[in-house]
Amino acid sequence: MKCSILGFVLSFSSVLAFGQKDVSMPLTINASPKSIGIITTIQASLDEDASKGKFGISTNQVKLYLKYNKNNNVVIFEAPNATELLSSGLDTKNISKTAVSWNFDASKENKLKLYITTASDSAQNYIIYSGYLYFPQLNKWKLIASFKINGTTENIITANSFKSKGISAKLDNLLTETWTQNEVGAWVPIQHMGNQKPFLPPFSDIDSVTRSYKDSIIIAKAIQDKQTDAIRYKNGLYYTLMKSSSNPELVKISDTVTILYKGYLMGTDIVFDQTTDEARTFPLGRLIKGWQVGLEGTRVGEKLKLLIPSGLAYSIRTRSPMIPPNSILVFEIETLSVKPKL
């Protein structure tokens, strides 16, 4: 596939907008269907001939790259037009209002992955950009940061790979197996097609244990301050019974459930999803862990309020523009009926 003249101009303009003085190579992006994510594999963590340098990927809105100086390895995620930092990984550092960094040891990994993904809201006219680092040997992801950009829903239109001039290795040797993901979920190769498409789930979090502890402190304080009435504890989440039922039928994980529900972020009135006139039907085993834990063993006809820590919800995933990574969620759920698995 050839890059259009317009695409090249936009890519080059993007580079200048970031003030780069680096070696840059445009990456071809398909305009339709639109691209919502880009991932690339780092084949060599450092350039032995250079004492310091940087290399990574950039789009029309953000940059995600490695920067090193002797034994100091840093991954940086920049969103120059960001209006708000929504979430960041543990032990990251805000180096400006629109940039977050994380120091790490790259000596044990030689095939890291850089991943940028988006989620947009056309009604509210904003977009979320999130940057991640993946460690193959650990099979763990690290959220660097998630930024909100108001006034646009512009996804990934142009992209570049880039490196410092002092790095002797070629760009297409440093960054390989680069793919974009379109809005229907398909992965499209744009540089050095690998043997298999990227596989993201399970989206295991390198910070999950510490994040779980921090969530528990936040929830405990909300309960102490009477900001929530979901105070009963069950296998990692809190809940309250909003409506009881005498129906003897109990919900099982293997059931398909028909429900009414409303979901919102803890401590806010931001409803990100709800049923209106009609109930919805789902196989419970395919839903988030918090729903499985919360509904299993309850009676058909009961209505519950579930207070779900991020680890039992969407964790560090950029699930939707209204659910930033590491969000603690509240769901009010009424089970109308169940259909056992045959």
For the chain, 342 residues long, give each residue's pLDDT as a single digit of tens: 333 322 333 333 344 344 447 899 999 887 778 999 999 998 755 545 556 789 999 999 999 999 987 667 899 999 999 999 999 999 999 999 999 999 987 766 768 899 999 999 999 999 999 999 998 888 899 999 999 999 999 999 999 999 998 888 888 888 888 999 998 888 888 876 656 666 665 568 999 999 999 999 999 999 999 999 999 999 999 999 999 999 999 999 999 999 999 999 999 988 999 999 899 999 999 999 999 999 999 999 999 999 999 999 999 999 899 999 999 999 999 999 999 987
Global confidence as pTM:
0.88
pLDDT, residue 128, reads 98
pLDDT, residue 213, reads 96
Q: Which CATH number fits domain 208-339: 1.10.1040.10, 3.10.50.40, 3.40.50.300, 2.60.40.1510?
A: 3.10.50.40
pLDDT, residue 194, reads 58
Cα distances from 154 to residues 4, 109, 118, 129, in angstroms, run 19, 33, 9, 10
The two three-digit tokens of residue 221, written as one number: 């304080």
pLDDT, residue 314, reads 94
Cα distances from 15 to residues 10, 137, 222, in angstroms, run 9, 32, 45
pLDDT, residue 12, reads 36
Tokens 């989440």 -> residue: 237
pLDDT, residue 11, reads 37
pLDDT, residue 317, reads 94
pLDDT, residue 152, reads 96
Tokens 């993904």 -> residue: 117
Q: Which residues pair with 337 in a beta bridge?
A: 258
